[in-house]
Amino acid sequence: MTKRLPITILLIVCSFIWCYPQTRSDDDHLREIIRKRGEAEVTVTLPGKTEMDILSKNVSISSVKDNIVHIFLSPLTVEWFISARKSYSIIESSDPKGIAGASSVKEAMEWESYPSLPQYDSIMRSFAVTFPALCRLDTIGASVRGRQILVLKISPDAGTDKDQPEVFYSSTMHGNETAGFVLMLRLADYLLNNYHTDSRIRNLLDNLEIWINPLANPDGTYNRGNEITTPVRHNANGYDLNRNFPDPVSQTGTMQKETRDMIRFMAERRFVLSANFHSGAEVVNYPWDRWEREHPDNNWFYDLSRRYADTVHTYSSPGYMIFLDNGITKGYDWYQVYGGRQDYVTWELQGREVTIEIDNTHLTPETDLATLWESNYRSMIGYIESALYGIHGHIRDSETGDPVPARITVNNHDFDNSYIFSDSITGRFTRLIEPGSWDITFSAEGYLDTVVTDIITFPDERYTLDVEMRSKINPADTIDHEKPLLYPNPGSGYIKAVLPEDLRGEVNIKIFSNTGMILSDYDTGTSGRMPLIIDVNKLSAGSYIIVFRNKGNGVAYRSRLIISGRF
């Protein structure tokens, strides 16, 4: 007997496999475009949430507009897309209209044409040579093809690391989104040339370290040599770099070299504020991309994005950057993204990053570059300026004055990793936050928690807060001793042990009862951290013998441990 599936199940199955196949000739034409150009843009009708989720995980969605999904396919993703059997339209395009190369570095630095790759290198080097006191050229890493991913540090005494908040601008991680590339170069030029004449710019550079990476994906932009001829979205291996960062929930595939290098660079700097610039729409996109829920600092992100877009509206022609909520959106409300840099920075590195889409056209004609600059540069400067506000301060040891690496948690506010950390070298912290009244807890290993209440923040103002934390460690712990020092002894709960030099390293600890029974036996590891913290919560009041043995040199010491009564 043949069983018939319920019609609802048939509809679900049909929806899941997308029952509108293209013809073989269409698929072959799609493959041919990718073979010739390195990528193809296709559109599909906006599907339901389940199908959209499948698309987002497997291909590179560049935008969703008017119920149409725009997708860029690479050699890496085209066969999956064809096998999905989704009805699609190919966006036919010839060589990019208006992408013109500058004839010289001088012409390129008029900012109305695109530099060749050697010209770009020369421009970046010229900034550092022309402004040695304000600018240092560095590299984030190298692309798959070995091209340097360059970054400028702009700050007085740029060759030294100062005790200041750091801000990061990056562009064109999608190689075919070219406008931000030139605008970042022009922004660097503007900051450097106006430092001595513009008090606003001087204030920014004097109080922040500003890093600018104009071109995050050189292999995509210069896909066929040293000129911008057929730029592609993905890197040389066919990966969308803005879908390649570690996802907080699920795996995102093979992490590319450009991604690994960018993560290392950002993790070392721990930027308090950052943005990455794209094209394909005109909107400021803030976290989360990954989740429907709001970030704890959603109001702050909204206001930050609103200010960028509203400033743009003041200085641009009507109709520019009005997409979605008049030029801003929470990412998930637009479309869901897995493995995006914005969410990685905000979730994993406790930074604050947005994605700024500055042109509906991916390949911006050189004739539009000046207009885009005029519309955006004040917003770019204002965004950086936001890093000067919020709560700033230092955390230090109350006895020694040494910096303390602490976690800063806004009580009844922080969740989803929205807490921040102070700098481990200087103790400096910057907590960007909306206006309001806040209680903050400062926590650090080896220190008593410190709570500061009734911190009032105002718009566009800085609140300075220096915090002293009391150590749980007695000053005697920092003195070298000839034998182990237990403190407190008698004690209970947790006992600290300061070991002599010849015991430090990987240590085995055994605790014996007075009858010789082993009650605890474990190794400390190799950190050499002093003092050791020994958990004696399970021991009842009484006298014990504790034996420390260095596992490397065999040196051993015995000490008597007294556990005080519990009341």
Would you name the residues annotated as active-site residues? 357
Residues 85-108: b if buried by 16+ CB within 10 A, e if exposed:
ebebeeeeeeebeebebbeebeeb
Cα separation, 68 vs 80, whole angstroms: 20
Q: SS3 for 503?
A: helix
User: CA triplet 44, 63, 335: central angle to 5 degrees?
Assistant: 95
426 Cβ contact partners less than 8 Å away, ≥ 6 residues apart: 163, 394, 403
Sequence letter at residue 148: Q
Strands 40-45 and 60-65: unpaired
Cα separation, 495 vs 493, whole angstroms: 7
Cα separation, 462 vs 433, whole angstroms: 10
196 C-beta neighbours (distance < 10 Å), count: 9
Q: SS3 for 512?
A: strand
Query: Contact, 392 vs 172, CB < 8 A?
Result: no
208 Cβ contact partners less than 8 Å away, ≥ 6 residues apart: 155, 164, 165, 166, 167, 384, 387, 388
377 C-beta neighbours (distance < 10 Å), count: 17
Cα separation, 136 vs 132, whole angstroms: 7
> Secondary structure of 125-150 in the HEC alphabet?
HHHHHHCCCCEEEEEEEECCCCCEEE
Adjacent-strand bridge partners of 430: 392
Q: How many CA atoms lie within 13 A of 302 on its CB side?
A: 11
**Both tokens assigned to 255:** 């992490």
Cα separation, 387 vs 391, whole angstroms: 10
Cα separation, 215 vs 169, whole angstroms: 10
